[in-house]
Structures are given as structure tokens and as C-alpha cells.
Amino acid sequence: MAERLGVDITLPTVSPQPYTRLAFEGHQYAAAHGRGGQYTPRVLRAFFQENRDIGRIDVLSEIAAELGLDSGEFTAALEQGTFTETHQDALREAAAHRITVVPTLIIDGHTRIEGVPDPTRIRKAVLDAQARGGHEQGPTCGTDGC
């Protein structure tokens, strides 16, 4: 799919593959500071295009600084586990919705779309929800906080 969309992705040589807990907690920090939408694609680019170890705090802190976040405060938050519980809450919410695929969209509690959806399917699901008198329930994207 990456090739079809023109996205340059390669399997990183970082070995062993990094644990991503800190990257996810970093997302929670970035989101709390208004940069969550920029943080996630930047971390993915660092891993899949730049072959960087996103399991290391120093790498994540450099990314945070690039986004205009305070790298010292970011580092301290990861070292102190400031956002560990927030990340655990996101994991619990994903489990409660039985989310195992990212992205997963749940629209109005009735329609579940897993994987990369066709825009026509999303539009139909939203229109169907409106026809039922429901309100669009924003996309639930899994554990990344989108």
C-alpha cells in the first residue's frame, strides 16, 4: 500500500525492534501540548524512513524539539512516567472497543470500519448515522490518540 500511495517506507534495520511504549507516551505529551497531530507522522518517518530507534528517549526528545516542544520537559515526562497512565487509559479504551486494527472507525456506535477505508464507505456510514438520527462519533483510531 505504501508503494501505491507513493510513500517511501523500508523495514528499519534497528535491532532489536524497539518497544514503542515511550513513543506512545511521547504522543500523549505532544497531544497535551497541541502537537499530537504532528508528532505521530514525524515518529513514523523517523522509524520507517530514517531508520531511527524510536524506543530511545533521546531520539524522541529530538523529534519533540523539532516540533517546537520543550525537549527537557519532554524527556523528564518520559523518564518520570508522567503520561504512562494516560497511555494505559488509551489502551483500555481500545480494548473496550475491541480495536486490534489501526485505523478503526466507529461511527455512531453502529458502523465499524477496520483498516484503511474507502472514502465512499465513510461517507455512506456517516450519512446512514445521520439518517438514524445519530451524531457522527468521531473516528476511534486505536491507541495512538487520534
pLDDT in tens, 51-106: 999 999 999 999 999 999 999 999 999 999 999 999 999 999 999 999 998 889 99
2-93 carries CATH number 3.40.640.10: no
Helix 21-32, helix 36-48: angle, nearest 10: 150
Residue 7's pLDDT is: 76
Share of the chain above pLDDT 70, in %: 90
The enclosing H or E element of 37 equals helix 36-48
Residue 117's pLDDT is: 85
The strand pairing partners of 136, in sequence order, are: none
* Domain parsing of the chain, residue ranges: 2-93, 98-146
| Distance, CA of 41 to CA of 146 (rounded, Å) | 12
pTM of the model: 0.76
